[in-house]
């Protein structure tokens, strides 16, 4: 019996596994795409987005959504710029990137906000920041 098991186990040893035919086509994942707002609500094409506890973008108009990146324009404000930006927020562009797929849904994992007139430290703070995404 041992000889039979060894004979069967060694069948693929010399040549390895043999695969015939072409590989199935690789298709990109499809499904809805979300961004997870602070503190954790998944949203599709939101008109307002809390980026973290200090920054938010409102009045967003999306130029693109669902691809490798999403780009929109809106008004940036936060506790750091009060009271001035309460009446005159920073007009800027938000770019979402880092699209990952989990269970047939896509999630943007990074953001950058650029706006004219931002203090240099704030501009750096809003560049290539991480967003929450569901665990795989």
The pLDDT of residue 107 is above 50: yes
Q: Which two tokens stand for residue 15?
A: 């040549």
List the domain boundaries for the chain.
33-130
Q: Which two tokens stand for residue 48?
A: 């307002």
For residue 91, give Cα distances in angstroms to 18, 22, 49, 85. 59, 51, 14, 10
The pLDDT of residue 73 is above 60: yes
Question: Cβ(51)–Cβ(129) under 8 Å?
Answer: yes
Q: What is the mean pLDDT of the chain?
A: 86
Question: What share of the chain has pLDDT > 70, as a percent?
Answer: 80
Band (pLDDT 50/70/90 cuts) for residue 6 is very low
């Amino acid at each position: 019996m041992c000889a039979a098991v060894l004979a069967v186990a060694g069948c693929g040893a010399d040549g390895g596994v043999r695969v015939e035919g072409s590989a199935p086509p690789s298709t990109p994942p499809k499904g809805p795409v979300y961004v997870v707002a602070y503190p954790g609500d998944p949203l599709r094409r939101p008109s307002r987005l809390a980026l973290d506890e200090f920054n938010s973008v409102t009045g967003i108009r999306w130029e693109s959504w669902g691809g490798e990146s999403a780009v929109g324009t809106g008004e940036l404000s936060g506790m750091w710029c009060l009271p001035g930006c309460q009446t005159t927020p920073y007009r800027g562009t938000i770019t979402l990137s880092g699209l990952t797929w989990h269970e047939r849904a896509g999630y943007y994992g990074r953001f950058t906000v650029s706006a004219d007139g931002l203090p240099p430290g704030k501009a750096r703070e809003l560049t290539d920041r991480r967003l929450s995404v569901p665990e795989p």
